Amino acid sequence: MASFLVVETKIVSLFRATIYKPILCFICAICLLGCSSKICVTYYSEPTGAKVYDDGRLLGSTPLTLYYEPSPDFINGDCMFLKPLLARWLSGAENSPTSIKACASEGKQLVFTFFRPQNIPGSDVDAQYASQYEYQREIRRIRTEENNMRLIQNLNSISNAYSGSSKSKNADGGYMTKDANGVLVNSNDCYQTKDALGAIVNSAGCYK
């Protein structure tokens, strides 16, 4: 029985090491590798929520992050020019800078802001839309965090379902069983284990 417990504990440790932790590490790696080799430019607009176009093709709304391959000049420590983009607000106001420059001295994570032309009517419309847009972004952020928390909880549940019972010798020569919360139960010479749902059940000479 003791040998079985050692094997069971090793299986649980292997499960946590090969399934649970790598998934979390993979999620973190995706977040960290985005700007590692490419130039990472985050485009903002004032007011926020302007749509960004590349030759008439919609790329998204600000804030928007785009990635660029560094040119030989950039790699050698100089500057490179990025393809000009167009920002268009709800009112129809537009801003299209003639050039956007990225310099190696500023690093690979850069920020550029499109400013709405003040002489175009409809600034109140764009300001109101920006407020609504920010509100919707905050709602999406909260939902994303909730989904991430549920993912972590599901992974914990899967890990606990495979954990079974963890036993250790007590002073009387019997075994004590730890439940999912690490609380020692059953200090006699019988054993308790957990089923797939995590419920403690009697086995091997235990009686209710």
Q: Please tell me the predicted confidence (pLDDT) of residue 206.
A: 45
Q: What is the secondary structure of 61-100 as a DSSP string?
A: ESSEEEEEPPPHHHHTT-EEEEPP-EEE-TTS-EE--S-E
Assigned domain for 50 exists: yes
- Alpha-carbon span 204 to 92, nearest angstrom: 76
State the amino acid at position 94 in one-letter form: E
With H, G, I as helix, E, B as strand and everything else as coil, classify residue 158: helix
Domain boundary (105, 125, 145) is at 125
Q: What local confidence, expressed as pLDDT, does residue 164 receive?
A: 52
Of 125, 143, 168, the last residue of a domain is 125
Residues 114 and 184 in one domain: no
What is the CATH number for 82?
2.60.40
| 111 and 165 fall within a common domain | no
Q: Does the residue 182 lie in any domain?
A: yes
Give the Å distances, CA to CA, from 153 to 9, 115, 144, 157, 158.
21, 43, 14, 6, 9
Let me know if residue 3 belongs to a domain: no
**pLDDT at res. 199:** 64
Asked whether residue 43 is domain-assigned, the answer is yes
Same domain, 52 and 101: yes
Domain enclosing residue 85, as ranges: 37-125
- Domain C-terminal end among 78, 99, 125: 125
Q: Report if residue 73 sits inside a domain.
A: yes
For residue 112, tell me if it sits in a domain.
yes
SS3 55: coil
**The predicted structure's pLDDT at residue 70:** 94
What's the total number of domains in the chain?
2
| pLDDT score recorded for residue 170 | 46
Question: What pLDDT does 177 receive?
Answer: 57
Q: What is the mean pLDDT of each run of 10 residues along the chain (208 residues)?
A: 43 46 51 68 96 95 95 93 94 92 91 94 95 91 90 82 52 53 57 60 48
User: Residue 208 has what pLDDT?
Assistant: 40
The answer to whether residue 147 sits within a structural domain is no
